[in-house]
Amino acid sequence: MITVDKLLLKITTHTTPTIEEYVSKRDAKVLRSLSSSVNSPIFITENQGRLLLKILYQYENQFLTVESDIAQILNQPTWSKNFRIVDVTKRVYIKTLKDRESAIFVEFSHGSTIRKTIQSLGKVIEGGVVTFSTKLISIDLTEKNIVSIVETLQPHKFEFDQKIQDFYEIIKKWTFNKECEKFIFGENLLDVVKNAFVTDVGIDATNNRSLIYDRRTRYHYLTEKTGKNDENLEDLIIYRTQQKLWIDSSRHSLTDLVKNLKILHRLPLLIVFDSYDVTVCNKNLQNLQISLEKNEISKGVGIYFRLPNDTNGKIFNSFIQDNHYNAPLNSDTNVAGVQAGKLPKFFLKDCNWAPKSVIVLGSNLRHSKTAVYSNRCDLIISYADKPSIFDNNTGWATSTWAL
């Protein structure tokens, strides 16, 4: 008695009549596809075997002309080879590759349904998907991604490692309002955030409305929404909605700006000069000197660049010397001046100095060493008569709570 797969080959190679003459087009196509598989080294899967038997049972009478013993073959089916084992890998785990941050890895076997499901993840996750092979991808490790991946893949019986299960359970226990309470400035504020705030501006500042609002960008806590006065310079600073802020130099003097920064405990201050116009540099330096003098800032001032010793350059360099603006950069420095795009190396080497605010005079930082260095600060002010096209100041927050 022949095996079922040999019977299939006998049926599909029969020419008078061919299977297309007495079998539906769809079933004939399936039989020829299965015939190619059983004739290949990989053979067919168990599910394909069941499908084959189902079609052969359906057309048993029609196939009698090809094989008279078909009933006996189908009643006691045998196969010439073992069925092909199907890869059913469905794993999700956290892994850290060399020189990379930890990520969520999704490992899966081929299959149209699984493939579509994996592709659908791209619509709900944060960040991108890194493809390592047709069976392995990685996704950024974030709270949102953990929830999205678990809830998308769980119905498809994926296996999740214990870390992901633990993270998922913790995240799902979170209640938005309760978690927000931990970040609202007040009694429930996380100790680590409150301690950092106090270390920065002192214990008395916990009752200072201006300081509380000003530092929310730096320490990422929430504050209640409140009214603001767009004509008031302090309000422009403390109610800013992002790190970078444009201050109109035609409406607010540099003296008033430095005064407000001093009140808000925003010293030490980094001043960035326009590096292209010597005349403007001279004007800005003189304006800065007046502003510092009126705000009683005379010590710990260092301008850490010089201009070429031509007519205008000598005026600039002499002004620095005459006003003793050549203090070494250290923990006592109140004001440091540099050129846009040029940062002295000693700012990065063995120095515990860091600015609490940055004023860019008449230019923007764009992409430069000075810009990268300044980004450590939560307040970068572009002080000019009009905003730069490179600045991104998009108004005030409208939510009940403001960051």
| CATH code for position 129 | 3.30.780
Of 382 and 367, more confident: 382
350 inside domain? yes
| pLDDT at res. 35 | 92
The position carrying tokens 């730069």 is 388
Q: What is the mean pLDDT of residues 184-212?
A: 90
66 and 102 fall within a common domain: no
113 and 55 fall within a common domain: no
Strands 244-248 and 159-160: unpaired
55 and 131 fall within a common domain: no
134 and 65 fall within a common domain: no
234 inside domain? no
| pLDDT at res. 395 | 36
Read out DSSP for 151-192?
HHHGGGT-EE-HHHHHHHHHHHH--HHHHHHTTBSSTTS-HH
Boundary (domain end) residue, out of 44, 75, 106: 75
291 inside domain? yes
247 inside domain? yes
Boundary (domain end) residue, out of 115, 149, 173: 173
Residue 253 pLDDT > 80, yes or no?
A: yes
Domains of the chain: total: 3
CATH code: domain of residue 267: 3.40.50
28 and 123 fall within a common domain: no
Q: How far is residue 44 CA from its own chain's centroid?
A: 45
The whole domain housing 148 covers 90-173
Q: Tell me which DSSP letter residue 101 carries.
A: -
Contacts of 381 (CB under 8 A, 6+ apart): 237, 244, 245, 246, 247, 257, 357, 358, 359, 360
183 inside domain? no
Confidence of residue 391 (pLDDT cuts 50, 70, 90): low
pLDDT tens digits, residue range 114-159? 888 888 888 888 888 888 988 899 999 999 999 999 999 999 989 9
Instruction: Look over the chain and give the mean of its residue pLDDT values, rounded to a whole number.
Output: 88
- 35: exposed, middle or buried (C-beta count within 10 Å: 0-12, 13-18, 19+)? buried
pTM: 0.60
193 inside domain? no
154 and 274 fall within a common domain: no
Separate counts of helices (H) and strands (E) for the chain? 16, 13
Give the tokens for residue 345: 């190396």
Q: What is the mean pLDDT of residues 313-322?
A: 93
80 inside domain? no
- Length of the chain equals 403
62 and 97 fall within a common domain: no
Query: CA neighbours within 13 Å on the CB side: how many for 227?
Result: 2
Could you count the other beta carbons within 10 Å of the beta carbon of residue 285? 21
51 inside domain? yes
